[in-house]
Structure 1
Amino acid sequence: MESGYDNDKDIDVISLKQLSYALAIEKTLHFKKAAEQCHISQSALSSGLSDLEEKLGVQILERDNKKVLVTDIGKEVLKRAHKIMLEVHELEHLSDRFKPPLSFPLSLGIIPTVAPFILPKLMSELKITHPKSNIAIIEEQTAQLLESLRGGTIDAAVIALPYPCEGLEVLEFWEEDFYWICLKDHKFAHQKHVSSKQVAESNLMLLSEGHCFKDHALDVCDLKHQFPQPDLRASHLNTLIQMVLGNMGNTLIPEIAKEQLTNINSNLRAVHLNEPGPHRRLAFVIRPNYTQKSSILELIEVCKRTLM
């Protein structure tokens, strides 16, 4: 039976190292930084890239003394290289499916409006139930986390829905509503619920662009096209809470943040937002063929217990 090629001929084989060099340059757009990332000399990196380009018969990068640019054909090459390296990574970890959950290192990305309010309880519980677990935490906004997940840089991400997750597997584990935060002497402070109309009249402060919580809050309140561009561009919910304490306005927070952000200060009131819920849903997101899914399912069970 013929194998599809002539065994007697020399075959120019593309190596995984060459692909990793090209991807490192794409990431840094800097040969010296890419070489340091790959733990090789700059000349070895350049030689490996030139070898790859010669074997493929295309120019992947344009480079001079000042800048590095990816060519149009280079973008297609690097897109396929990402997929190849990801498949290799999954192949190397195929045996993880047969290991006990959380018995090997994991990298977990979590959005900023979830991380501070779930991680302390989660990690404390894991110390008891899975003392040998080894989880690296990356806190980033949703777009960056999903990009890292698709590229194989992280194993899983905890995000808030709704959010587009095409090509990924979504495992929901929690639902929650939003609470409007004001000072105790505000005219709405002693209501059981607050309406979107009242929220709109209250000098609402939200997180800066890029945080999905801002979009979720505006969507729930139907204020997407009415919310002015604020001077304040806060990156953390705690900053907004401090602004409320300074009588600069009012804000919205998710239910999981209520205890940590408001219960410790008697000058604040948390009033439930009276709009159809749940206002957001939390989920773990993984790649479809991820080999360590059993660990993620175990993490979901631990999260549910700590949030109850």
Structure 2
Amino acid sequence: MFLPTLKQLRYLTALDEHKHFGRAAASCFVSQSTLSAGLQELETLLGASLVERSNRSVVFTALGREIVARARIVLREAQELAELAAAAKEPLSGTLKLGVIPTIGPFLLPKVLPKLRKAFPKLKLYLNEDLTQRLVDELHNGALDCVLLALPVEIGESEELVLFDDPFEFVCRKDDPLAAKSKLTTADLQQAPLLLLTDGHCLRDHALDACHLGHRPTGSDVTGTSLHTLVEMAAGGLGVTLIPEMALQAKLLKGSDLVARPFAGGKPGRRIGLIWRKTSAREKEFRLLGQTIKDAYLATAK
């Protein structure tokens, strides 16, 4: 029995990704005729039609869609075999695609990346910043190797490594009555006009859950698309907000008329963690990466 080659499977997945023969060929660094010939050879080998061709569109048959899904798994596992062999020679020396959420990336990575470059000079680290659910989806479809995010969150068939806790602090204007308190309780937030991130940001849910505020209905609070936006709105007198300690250490409030106050007792917050696919052969590398991130952050934390 003759088996499909990795090259043929790569041509097939590229066509599915780009839905255009010319763009798919360009992404594989081959001519369009070479890609078309490779796909025809694959169809002949399998004895089935995978793609319906026309001048206007590329449509996959039902069998074609199923084979594309399986081809992605085969290609991903083949890539991980090569990466496993490379890691055995020198850990964190090849390509690594890391996803990171926007409430972590700008505040943690400046502390971490110099340490990573120094410790692992041969590491080629590619970063993708996006919302949690999209990053988790990209992890499972093979577009990312691991994801740096905030826990708890639904991660599917993934392994997780908890790195450190990131408490929330209460942030308000200096002239707010609550600013006079050295420490607050979550009860102080019950009647406060709270500024939150929009739906889709896990920080919103983490803040509400950690402070026992429940899941507020849409429209009950003013929302922003980033921590920087929340700070600007709080400075403008629109309300108070919750900011992770990580962002405060990165001087997020610098230049504003805002103050941060810790919570008394058990500090509400989130946990920062690293996740990867359970099937990945690079677990040892990811644990080493996670430990390096943890050490770099704790070394600069107050």
Q: Do they fold alike, i.e. is TM over 0.5? A: yes
Instruction: Give the TM-score taking structure 2 as reference length.
Output: 0.85
Distance (Å, rounded) in 1 between the aligned partners of 2:206 and 2:9? 39
Alignment match, 1:42: 32
Q: Does 1:265 align with 2:255?
A: yes
Tell me if structure 2 keeps the 8 A contact 1:196–1:275: no
Deviating more after overlay: 80-89 vs 57-66: 57-66
Alignment match, 1:163: 153
Tell me if structure 2 keeps the 8 A contact 1:160–1:282: yes
Q: Does 1:101 align with 2:91?
A: yes
Deviating more after overlay: 287-296 vs 223-232: 223-232
Distance (Å, rounded) in 2 between the aligned partners of 1:150 and 1:80? 13
Distance (Å, rounded) in 2 between the aligned partners of 1:270 and 1:101? 40
CA apart distance, 1:113 = 0.9
Measured on the aligned residues, the alpha-carbon RMSD in Å equals 2.8
Identity of aligned residues (%): 35
Alignment match, 2:276: 286
Q: List per-residue Cα deviations over 1:168-200 (Å, max 9, x = no partner).
A: 211111112212221111121232344445434
In structure 1, stretches of 5+ residues that fail to align are 1-10
CA apart distance, 1:62 = 4.4
Q: Does 1:228 align with 2:218?
A: yes
Q: Does 1:89 align with 2:83?
A: no
Tell me if structure 2 keeps the 8 A contact 1:161–1:280: yes
Distance (Å, rounded) in 2 between the aligned partners of 1:17 and 1:139? 30
Distance (Å, rounded) in 2 between the aligned partners of 1:194 and 1:60? 62
Alignment match, 1:134: 124
Distance (Å, rounded) in 2 between the aligned partners of 1:62 and 1:191? 68
Deviating more after overlay: 154-163 vs 246-255: 246-255
Instruction: Select the residue among 199, 213, 234 that pairs with 2:189.
Output: 199
Tell me if structure 2 keeps the 8 A contact 1:106–1:134: yes
Q: Secondary structure at the match of 1:209?
A: coil
Q: Secondary structure at the match of 2:275?
A: strand
Tell me if structure 1 keeps the 8 A contact 2:231–2:253: no
In structure 2, stretches of 5+ residues that fail to align are none
Counterpart amino acid of residue 18 in structure 1: Q
- Cα distance change of structure 1 residues 236 and 73 upon mapping to structure 2, 3 Å threshold: same
Distance (Å, rounded) in 2 between the aligned partners of 1:137 and 1:166? 21
Distance (Å, rounded) in 2 between the aligned partners of 1:267 and 1:84? 55
Q: List per-residue Cα deviations over 1:37-95 (Å, max 9, x = no partner).
A: 11223333333334333433444444544444444433322221111111111222232
Alignment match, 2:231: 241
- Cα distance change of structure 1 residues 13 and 294 upon mapping to structure 2, 3 Å threshold: closer
Tell me if structure 2 keeps the 8 A contact 1:262–1:270: no
CA apart distance, 1:26 = 2.0
- Cα distance change of structure 1 residues 45 and 134 upon mapping to structure 2, 3 Å threshold: closer
Q: List per-residue Cα deviations over 1:82-109 (Å, max 9, x = no partner).
A: 1111111122223234223333332222
Tell me if structure 1 keeps the 8 A contact 2:223–2:230: no
Q: How many residues align?
A: 298
- Cα distance change of structure 1 residues 275 and 110 upon mapping to structure 2, 3 Å threshold: farther
Instruction: Give the TM-score taking structure 1 as reference length.
Output: 0.84
Tell me if structure 2 keeps the 8 A contact 1:176–1:277: no
Q: Does 1:27 align with 2:17?
A: yes
Tell me if structure 1 keeps the 8 A contact 2:195–2:223: no
Distance (Å, rounded) in 1 between the aligned partners of 2:48 and 2:200? 36
Alignment match, 1:178: 168
Instruction: Select the residue among 172, 180, 189 that pairs with 1:190.
Output: 180
Distance (Å, rounded) in 1 between the aligned partners of 2:119 and 2:4? 45
Distance (Å, rounded) in 2 between the aligned partners of 1:206 and 1:51? 54
Distance (Å, rounded) in 2 between the aligned partners of 1:173 and 1:183? 32
